[in-house]
Amino acid sequence: MSAIDQYKHRLLGFIECPSSFDIVYNNSTRKIAIYELLENIPVEEDDFDGKIGDILLGGGSGEAAAFRISIPQSILFFTRDDWYDFENYDELFKTFWTPTESYVFGEGFSKLGWNPNTAIEFWLAKVMCSVLIEKYDQFKIYKPTNWQSIIDLAFFEKFF
């Protein structure tokens, strides 16, 4: 059982992290679940945090370590030049990775275009917000009229 299983959530799909190393302990999968939270996560939860509507990549212990993306804040941040309604990036997105897990994810995501000149959580949040807008109808409402996707969906299709 994964940490996410004790909370109400909806599975949206999967992203693949083509790491050379296991992203889940003793498991050869390279797929990381994309979850939408359907309840607020209590403060005593150690594997992730979030509120209703936020997105989690990974479900915490029992599967891939979690990365939380606050919705709609993160999407607004990446799609509107005039939106700065936050005090620090942890309000927008936050990793719950150990240093070792960070290395494993970084090694895998480097094969998809991430490089250490950009914070991995910034790059991953930006890519995921673009994917959410492009692939899931419920997020298309955030798509600005001048939207130009930050990712090449044809390239990423094989990873979703």
Q: How confident is the model at residue 157 (pLDDT cuts 50, 70, 90)?
A: low
Domain residue ranges in the chain = 3-159
Per-residue pLDDT tens over the stretch 1-57: 789 999 999 999 999 999 999 988 777 889 999 999 999 999 999 999 999 999 999
- Measured CA to CA, the distance from residue 145 to residue 110 in angstroms comes to 31
**How many angstroms separate the Cα of 66 from the Cα of each of 80, 84, 144, 156?**
26, 25, 28, 20
Nearest to 136 by CA among 81, 80, 71, 92: 71
Q: Please choose, from the candidates 160, 158, 140, the residue with its C-alpha nearest in 3D space to the C-alpha of residue 149.
A: 140
pTM for this one? Answer: 0.90
d(CA 160, CA 37) in angstroms, rounded, equals: 19
Q: Are residues 59 and 31 in contact, defined by beta-carbon separation less than 8 angstroms? A: no
User: How are strands ordered across the β-sheet holding 31-37?
Assistant: 9-16, 31-37, 55-57, 67-69, 93-95
- Rounded CA separation 73/86 (Å): 8
In tens, the pLDDT along 57-108 reads 999 988 999 999 999 999 999 888 888 888 999 999 999 999 999 999 999 9
